[in-house]
Amino acid sequence: MNFQQLRIIREAVRCNFNLTEVGNALFTSQSGVSKHIKDLEDELGVELFVRKGKRLLGLTDPGQELLEFVDRILLDASNIKNLVEQYSKRDEGQLTIVATHTQARYSLPKVITEFKKAYPKVHLKLHQASPNEIVTLLLSGEADIGMATEALADVSKLDSFPYYSWYHAVIVPRGHPLEKVQPLTLKALAEYPIVTYHEGLTGRAKIDKSFLDAGITPDIVMSALDADVIKTYVELDMGIGIIASMAFSPAKDSDLSLINCEHLFGANTTYIALRRGHYLRSFAYRFIELCSPRLNETTIRAGVVLPPAR
């Protein structure tokens, strides 16, 4: 049994049992992948994969149980490498952050600037992804730290910590009639076409639930991945917008007005998540602490969950 065989088992699941894709991912041939699988099955004395002819369809029961050990062994191997580098290259290495567009665009620039000043030799990789993609990247070990409002807190293999709370706000072209509506109501919003986030992103579920609970069906004429797109189409008078309030800049968005609507949609919580059992370098903990001073290495290692900052 060797690490390449274990990697092949894990990659076969990720690639939906397509051996050509497994070979490409591991920089080897399809025939090489097949041989490694056969050698491992011969060594263990059990079939790990369900087959139809030469095609793999899935994992057998022993294969499914073995996968848990494979994930653990490969995670520990990665942890050993990180542990050694922690002492041999204390302030050098790579840190991979994966976040939604809203977090990458609005909450992280200041943090990243401070981090790079403190750790100029650390190569920082920032990926933008949907919440579900962030979960996948964390669990696969392709990312060290994930940030999103949705999905992260619901995954048992992740340790998730509240980062901060935020609210939605309504944006309208300057001079819009809604500027004079006090207090703002869902019924008043529903009188206009609405541009907001895609389902599953940036608190969209809270928006939908508020309207549903009120028995109101809003006219959502367009949805987008990020606030910049939403603002663009509100400026073009396609409708009113509902965005995360931190995405509004009075200086840059001078043609728009921001209307507070905390009472309509409630608070959202953005989480910082790590794969459970994944060894983090000291500079990774420092990055998290720059995001939220309360989330220091001691707190994170102890698994202490604090309420989100406001």
Last residue of a domain, one of 49, 84, 119: 84
Q: Is the domain of 130 the same as that of 277?
A: yes
94 φ/ψ sector (left φ>0, alpha ψ -120 to 50, else beta): beta
Q: Is the domain of 215 the same as that of 279?
A: no
Question: What integer pLDDT is reported at residue 216 of this predicted model?
Answer: 97
Question: What integer pLDDT is reported at residue 141 of this predicted model?
Answer: 86
Residue 308: inside a domain, yes or no? no
Residue 19 has pLDDT above 60, yes or no: yes
For tokens 């004395």, what's the residue?
45
Percent of the chain with pLDDT over 90: 61
Question: What integer pLDDT is reported at residue 206 of this predicted model?
Answer: 94
Q: What's the mean per-residue pLDDT of the chain?
A: 90
Residue 309: inside a domain, yes or no? no
Residue 310 has pLDDT above 60, yes or no: no
Higher pLDDT, 74 or 51: 51
Question: What integer pLDDT is reported at residue 40 of this predicted model?
Answer: 86
Q: What is the mean pLDDT of residues 200-220?
A: 95
Backbone angles phi, psi at 42, to 5 degrees: -65, -40
Last residue of a domain, one of 68, 84, 100: 84
Residue 106: inside a domain, yes or no? yes
Q: What is the pLDDT of residues 97-133, one digit of tens each?
A: 999 999 999 999 999 999 999 999 999 999 999 999 9
Q: What is the mean pLDDT of residues 182-202?
A: 95
Q: Is the domain of 276 the same as that of 261?
A: no
Q: Is the domain of 244 the same as that of 229?
A: yes
Please report which confidence band the pLDDT of residue 146 belongs to, taking 50, 70 and 90 as the band edges.
Answer: very high
Residue 77: inside a domain, yes or no? yes
Q: Is the domain of 140 the same as that of 273?
A: yes
Q: Is the domain of 174 the same as that of 237?
A: yes
The DSSP element (H or E) to which 30 belongs, if any, is helix 30-44
Q: Is the domain of 198 the same as that of 253?
A: yes
Q: What is the mean pLDDT of residues 238-259?
A: 96
Residue 211 has pLDDT above 90, yes or no: yes
Residue 188: inside a domain, yes or no? yes
Q: Is the domain of 130 the same as that of 276?
A: yes
Q: How far is CA 229 from the centre of its chain?
A: 20
Q: Are 115 and 164 in contact (CB under 8 A)?
A: no
Question: What integer pLDDT is reported at residue 86 of this predicted model?
Answer: 67
The total number of structural domains in the chain stands at 3
Question: What integer pLDDT is reported at residue 87 of this predicted model?
Answer: 64
Residue 227 has pLDDT above 80, yes or no: yes
Please report which confidence band the pLDDT of residue 140 belongs to, taking 50, 70 and 90 as the band edges.
Answer: confident
Q: Is the domain of 149 the same as that of 20?
A: no
Residue 139 burial (CB count, 10 A): 17
Range of the domain at 122: 91-165+269-302
Residue 127: inside a domain, yes or no? yes
CATH of the domain at 176: 3.40.190.10
Please report which confidence band the pLDDT of residue 305 belongs to, taking 50, 70 and 90 as the band edges.
Answer: low
How many residues belong to the chain? 310
Q: Is the domain of 262 the same as that of 192?
A: yes
- List CB contacts of 161: < 8 A, sequence separation 6 or more: 271, 272, 273, 288, 292, 295, 300, 305, 306
Please report which confidence band the pLDDT of residue 136 belongs to, taking 50, 70 and 90 as the band edges.
Answer: very high
Residue 246: inside a domain, yes or no? yes
Q: What is the pLDDT of residues 157-174, one digit of tens each?
A: 999 999 999 999 999 999
Residue 27: inside a domain, yes or no? yes
Q: Is the domain of 60 the same as that of 198?
A: no
Residue 283 has pLDDT above 80, yes or no: yes
Average the pLDDT over each of 10-24, 127-141, 255-269 and give the range with the smallest value.
Answer: 10-24
Q: Is the domain of 161 the same as that of 199?
A: no
CATH of the domain at 25: 1.10.10.10
Last residue of a domain, one of 29, 58, 84: 84
